[in-house]
Amino acid sequence: MLISYIINTLIVATAVGIHFEMLNWLSVKVPAMTIQNRTRVVVALMGAILAHIVEIWLFALAYYFIISVGNMGALEGSFDGSLYDCFYFSISTYTTVGYGDIAPLGDVRFLAGLEALTGLVLITWTASFLFVEMQKFWVKPNHD
């Protein structure tokens, strides 16, 4: 249980760190780009999506490691033990869609719960970030 707690903490902290660094980098680089304002927003959005994909892969690799160890839990259902299925499970968990065709058992349940919470927080953080960035580039109407 202690090893599971340590792994979970490291994975969540790493995902948050990746997200922070990407949003920080985008907040500096995107305004400095010499492109149309609308394109800047698209670049910021694509950068944020890239960060989410990296974070999802991080969780997928953690699931793959945990189920490979054998005594820390498992994923069952429509699951063949592949990294690809771990990635699929991670996407549905991170986005809180939770299709239910793959279910966590044992200690891996805690990582799945933390991934859903982390995904929710990071997705809303991205929405807030993009709203602030879009406000910088929106043309303000002239009310004279």
pLDDT given for residue 58 in this prediction: 98
- Answer yes or no: is pLDDT of 54 > 80: yes
Average pLDDT estimate for 107-125: 97
- Answer yes or no: is pLDDT of 144 > 70: no
Distance separating alpha carbons of residues 124 and 56, to the nearest angstrom: 15
Q: What Rg do the C-alpha atoms of the chain give, in angstroms?
A: 18
Domain residue spans of the chain: 2-137
Backbone angles phi, psi at 74, to 5 degrees: -155, 165
Give the fold, CATH level 3, of 2-137.
Helix Hairpins (1.10.287)
pLDDT given for residue 137 in this prediction: 74
Each residue's pLDDT tens digit, 123-137: 999 999 999 988 887
Strands (E), 9-109: 74-77, 102-105
